[in-house]
């Protein structure tokens, strides 16, 4: 209810004309995308359109990123196509309901913050790969279906007409904002090309040539599957992948829109809203989906920043299905193709090409790997996961090499090891190599002032080094351990025997600071 009140709060700076017109443009762009993704999944076009309506409406109302558009996506279609062929559409609906439940649980558990672990090179690779996919998917519009059912490239007049209309659409989208921003350039481009084709009666491919979008209000429908453990075993793997892919793509899109708009979204709220959208659409004959980066960029580039644009897009899409299918089916595919090509151009991070010579070679490798997996496997979740793993391994390797030890013997004959760098599983071997146990004097101090003990491997390494000195009958002191390091060692004390000696100078320093604070207070 609060979201609905905020929607019409006149104290907010909302350009209602821009929001409504942008929503109408997005609705037009949603139609061919939803139809195409439905066909990819082996489902009816209405399954994709219904998903675009229900998910788009729910996430626009309650999501964590105003202005972001959600609906049926190719990432989800690729995941469920095998299940659709093997078990049918009813199992798809059940899978989408379960996937939505998992996503809502992720939102409740506040797992959205895990997106912070995605490094910037992974973001670059994800965005660039997605931009290339969007562009390549538009090339199919330059093909026609031959008598044997195969797709062949256009030639002659059909090709020239298609290229001319696409070029005109792109020119309007590029040039109109330089003259005026009073009306979304993408909407003007679609209407202009539609008018030219209608007036001149140009023979070109339209939305209706792909599939009919005529239908009614999404019917409530409980998935007709057996409520058994066997059914759960069938749909759970698909549901988990759909939930993971949907959350990753949605949260990455949220971060991208954040950067474009200079504002901040709420990942956990968006995760819950995406889950609610999928849960509901599974009961209303929808194929499931997530955030759509192309349509989100269309929306934000038109100047939309509030929830109203997404709500208008969802409602207008339903209007098209129920009442305007005859008109929408006459919209030339050339106009929508030109729009999506411009989206691909705008999506690509051209700045990433300029920093190739300045970025570390590891970051370039991560970006390239993520982009290649995204393009060739169309698996965004796998691409991001691989990118994060490679980045984490590279980070661990670099930090493992940073462990250092400065050595000196003081006037009392005590040898000091001053450790620099984090002590963790990757740096344990280098840490052990720093010590000369047999040749060291009877008393040794290991100073951790510039280091931290971070994990179990580090605790075990400290324990082993104290044992080695104990076997030689030598005394060892651990100094300047931070409080969290002390806690780690105490927690592990019941597992391994670590010789912890408190640092008196550390305590004196603390007491001196406390005394100074008390003196100032007085």
Res 377: pLDDT? 77
CB proximity list for 26: less than 8 A, separation 6 or greater: 69, 295, 298, 299, 309, 310, 313
For residue 318, is it within any domain? yes
Q: How far apart, in Å, are the Cα atoms of 399 and each of 120, 388, 392, 463, 494?
A: 19, 16, 11, 21, 29
Measured from the Cβ of residue 11, the count of other Cβ atoms closer than 10 Å reads 6
- Judge if 359 and 243 occupy the same domain: yes
The total number of residues written for the chain in this structure:
522
The dihedral over CA atoms of 438, 442, 446, 447, expressed in degrees to the nearest 10, equals: -140
Res 509: pLDDT? 35
For residue 347, is it within any domain? yes
Contact in structure between 462 and 492 (CB atoms under 8 Å) = no
Contact in structure between 458 and 428 (CB atoms under 8 Å) = yes
Alpha carbon distance 208, 58 (integer Å): 28
Can you say whether residue 423 is alpha, beta or left, with left for phi > 0 and alpha for psi between -120 and 50 degrees?
beta
- Judge if 87 and 235 occupy the same domain: yes
Res 484: pLDDT? 65
Res 514: pLDDT? 40
- The kind and range of the H/E element at 177 are helix 156-179
For residue 307, is it within any domain? yes
Contacts from 439-443 at CB under 8 Å and sequence distance 24+?
440/415, 440/469, 440/474, 441/409, 441/413, 441/414, 441/415, 441/474, 442/473, 442/474, 442/475, 443/413, 443/414, 443/415, 443/474, 443/475, 443/476, 443/477
Place of tokens 């620099």: 420
For residue 275, is it within any domain? yes
Which of 390, 414, 437 terminates a domain? The answer is 390
Which of 390, 415, 446 terminates a domain? The answer is 390
- Judge if 315 and 226 occupy the same domain: yes
- The kind and range of the H/E element at 198 are helix 185-200
For residue 104, is it within any domain? yes
Contact in structure between 471 and 501 (CB atoms under 8 Å) = no
For residue 397, is it within any domain? no
Q: What is the CATH number of the domain that holds 501?
A: 3.30.750.24
- Judge if 132 and 257 occupy the same domain: yes
- Judge if 378 and 430 occupy the same domain: no
Report the candidate in 446, 438, 496 with the shortest Cα–Cα distance to residue 469: 438
- Judge if 117 and 249 occupy the same domain: yes
Which of 390, 414, 441 terminates a domain? The answer is 390
Res 163: pLDDT? 95
- The kind and range of the H/E element at 443 are strand 443-453
For residue 399, is it within any domain? no
- pLDDT block averages, 10 residues each, the chain of length 522: 47 80 91 81 90 96 94 84 91 97 95 80 84 84 81 90 94 89 83 93 88 90 94 93 88 88 90 96 95 88 91 95 90 88 82 77 88 81 85 86 89 92 89 91 90 85 87 87 67 46 41 44 50
- Judge if 381 and 480 occupy the same domain: no
CA 79, 82, 87 angle in degrees (round to 5)? Answer: 120
Domain range for 54: 16-144+152-390
- Quick one: tokens of 495? 């597992």
Alpha carbon distance 363, 120 (integer Å): 9
- Judge if 118 and 265 occupy the same domain: yes
For residue 8, is it within any domain? no
pTM of the model: 0.73
Contact in structure between 360 and 192 (CB atoms under 8 Å) = no
- Judge if 230 and 355 occupy the same domain: yes
- Judge if 342 and 416 occupy the same domain: no
- Judge if 163 and 105 occupy the same domain: yes
Domain count within the chain: 2
- Judge if 385 and 409 occupy the same domain: no
């Amino acid at each position: 209810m609060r979201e609905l009140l905020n929607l019409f709060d006149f104290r907010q700076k909302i350009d209602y004309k821009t929001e409504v017109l942008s929503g109408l443009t997005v609705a037009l762009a949603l139609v061919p995308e939803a139809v195409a993704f439905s066909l990819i999944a082996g489902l009816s076009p209405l399954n994709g359109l219904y998903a675009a309506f229900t998910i788009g409406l729910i996430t626009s109302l309650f999501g964590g990123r105003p202005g972001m558009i959600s609906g049926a996506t190719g990432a989800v279609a690729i995941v469920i196509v095998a299940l659709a062929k093997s078990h049918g559409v009813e199992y798809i609906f059940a899978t989408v309901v379960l996937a939505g439940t998992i996503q809502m649980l992720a939102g409740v558990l506040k797992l959205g913050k895990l997106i912070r672990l995605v490094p910037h090179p992974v973001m670059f690779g994800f965005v660039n790969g997605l931009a290339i996919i969007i562009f390549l998917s538009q090339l199919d519009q330059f093909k026609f279906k031959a008598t044997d059912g195969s797709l062949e490239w256009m030639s002659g007049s059909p090709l020239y007409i298609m290229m001319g209309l696409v070029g005109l659409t792109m020119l309007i989208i590029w040039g109109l904002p330089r003259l005026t921003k009073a009306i979304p350039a993408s909407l003007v481009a679609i209407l202009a090309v539609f008018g030219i084709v209608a007036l001149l009666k140009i023979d070109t491919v339209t939305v209706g040539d792909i599939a009919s979008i005529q239908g009614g209000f999404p019917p409530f429908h409980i998935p007709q599957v057996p409520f058994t453990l066997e059914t759960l075993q069938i749909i759970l793997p698909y549901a988990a992948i759909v939930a993971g892919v949907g959350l990753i793509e949605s949260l990455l899109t949220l971060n991208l829109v954040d950067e474009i708009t200079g504002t901040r979204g709420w990942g956990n709220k968006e995760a819950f809203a995406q889950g609610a959208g999928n849960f509901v659409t599974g009961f209303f004959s929808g194929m499931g989906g997530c955030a759509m980066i192309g349509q989100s960029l269309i929306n934000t580039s038109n100047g939309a920043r509030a929830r109203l644009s997404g709500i208008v897009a969802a409602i207008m899409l339903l209007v098209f299905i129920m009442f305007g299918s005859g008109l929408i089916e006459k919209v030339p595919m050339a106009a929508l193709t030109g729009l999506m090509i411009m989206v691909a151009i705008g999506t690509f991070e051209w700045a990433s090409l300029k920093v190739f010579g300045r970025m570390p070679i590891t970051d370039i490798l991560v970006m390239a790997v993520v982009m290649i997996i995204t393009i060739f496997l169309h698996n965004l979740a796998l691409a991001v996961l691989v990118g994060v793993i490679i980045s984490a391994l590279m980070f661990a390797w670099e930090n493992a090499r940073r462990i250092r030890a400065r050595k000196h013997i003081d006037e009392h004959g005590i040898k000091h090891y001053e450790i620099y760098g984090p002590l963790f599983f990757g740096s344990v071997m280098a840490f052990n190599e720093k010590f000369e146990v047999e040749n060291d004097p009877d008393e040794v101090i290991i100073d951790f002032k510039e280091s931290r003990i971070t994990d179990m491997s580090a605790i075990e390494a400290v324990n082993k080094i104290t044992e080695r000195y104990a076997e030689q009958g030598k005394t060892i002191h651990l100094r300047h351990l931070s409080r969290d390091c002390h806690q780690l060692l105490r927690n592990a004390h019941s597992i391994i025997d670590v010789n912890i000696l408190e640092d008196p100078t550390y305590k004196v320093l603390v007491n001196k600071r406390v005394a100074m604070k008390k003196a100032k207070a007085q």
